[in-house]
Amino acid sequence: MSTAHWKELYDDHILDSNWKKLNTIVNTLLKKHKRALKGLEETESHYMELTHSIGEDQIIKWLDEELQALRLRGKHLDIYATKSEEAPSMADIWLSLMSSPSAEHGHSGSISWLAASISIEDAQDLVREAVCQLPIDHTATQKADVMAKQLALQSKVQKHQDEADSFMDGLDILEHCRPFEPVDDISLLPSHDYGIEPLDGEDQDQEDEYINGEDIEEVVPSEDVCIWMPSKLKLGRGKAVGLGYLVEEELQLCQGQANDSLARLRAALGNLAILYRQNL
């Protein structure tokens, strides 16, 4: 391809692009104008309500800031952005606890252990979701992927439970723990019919207790294992047995976890709002 051919090709492409812009710019501007009018109509009542609820001095201040932002542009336009105090994340709280341990802190590494506990609970949710989403006619690859996740989770759970004794001061956890209650709403989970006939109540009990005349112990999947944490103790029992510092540390880490979840939720809602506006 010669230089002249390149120039001719570029000219055709640019002219075609500009021609399309000229033809479609009117429709684009009309669509944006209609969207702006609709947005103005939706927000006018809220704007008037906000205006009447604040003082005149504050309104004058806002108008001055707006004029300055329109004149200077750049970072001064940030006044239009939503201002909110960012809540501390789980990582921030983790670092804060590590840098200033409490006076009652009796074990080194308890904060990391609690953070790992919360991480394992999150992993359990993901594995439960993967199990529920496994189709009835699943392939061997799909089943193998789920089993690999379960095995990886099982090793983490086992390691965590082994370390629990050192932080619980030899406490009989099962004696002081609240009974485990599933957190999933069964009605919201997909139900799969595997073609297995349900057993009668009596037959079910016999099936659970005996197989080939031998007692068996029910195997709990790794995603349903109750993770040993101070929050699993009965209400008020943690401080009574001298684990108050663990209860406080877990509470702060859980607050950070909730802040992270809310931040992700706000980001997801913001993305959906942008997509909704684009599709109007």
Mean pLDDT (the chain) is 76
Round to whole Å and give the CA distance between 110 and 127: 25
The answer to the question of residue 243 being in a domain is yes
The residue ranking higher by pLDDT, 20 or 173, is 20
Q: In terms of pLDDT, which residue wins out, 62 or 107?
A: 62
Tokens 């607050």, located at residue: 255
Is-contact 256 93, C-beta < 8 A?
A: yes
Residue 194 domain flag: no
Nearest 5°: phi and psi at 121? -60, -40
Q: Residue 259: what pLDDT? A: 92
Residues 63 and 98 in one domain: no
Angle between the 90-99 and 244-278 helix axes, to the nearest 10 degrees? 150
| Helix, coil or strand: residue 233 | strand
* Separation of first and last alpha carbons in the chain: 45
Is 197 domain-assigned? no
- Residue at which a domain ends, from 29, 62, 80: 80
Can you read off the two tokens belonging to residue 225? 């294992």
Q: State the CB neighbour count (10 A cutoff) for residue 130.
A: 15
169-213 pLDDT, tens digit per residue, is 666 655 555 555 555 555 555 544 433 343 444 444 444 444 455
| pLDDT at residue 148, as a whole number | 92
What digits encode the pLDDT tens for the residues 93-103? 888 888 876 55
Residue 161 lies in a domain: yes
**Mean pLDDT, range 16-38, rounded to an integer:** 81
pLDDT at 161 exceeding the cut of 70: yes
Distance CA 99, CA 81 (A): 34
Q: Judge whether 128 and 184 are in contact, CB under 8 Å.
A: yes
pLDDT at 178: 54
Residues 63 and 97 in one domain: no
Same domain, 169 and 242: yes
Tens of pLDDT along 113-125?
888 888 888 888 8
For residue range 206-253, list pLDDT tens digits in order.
444 444 555 555 677 888 887 777 777 766 666 666 677 788 888 889
Q: What is the mean pLDDT of residues 155-180?
A: 70
Please list the alpha-helical segments (H only) found in the chain: 3-53, 56-72, 90-99, 110-132, 140-167, 173-176, 201-209, 237-240, 244-278
Indicate if 115 and 137 belong to the same structural domain: yes
Q: What range defines the domain where residue 10 resides?
A: 3-80
Q: Which two tokens stand for residue 87?
A: 């809540």
CB burial of residue 275 (10 Å; 0-12, 13-18, 19+): exposed
Q: What is the mean pLDDT of residues 23-27?
A: 80
For residue 263, is pLDDT > 80?
yes
Instruction: Say if residues 190 and 132 touch (Cβ distance below 8 Å).
Output: yes
Percent of the chain with pLDDT over 90: 5
pLDDT value, residue 182: 53
Q: Which of 35, 62, 80 is the last residue of a domain?
A: 80
229/162 same-domain check? yes
Distance, in Å, from the CA atom of 21 to the CA atom of 23, rounded to the nearest integer, reads: 5
State residue 166's pLDDT score: 75
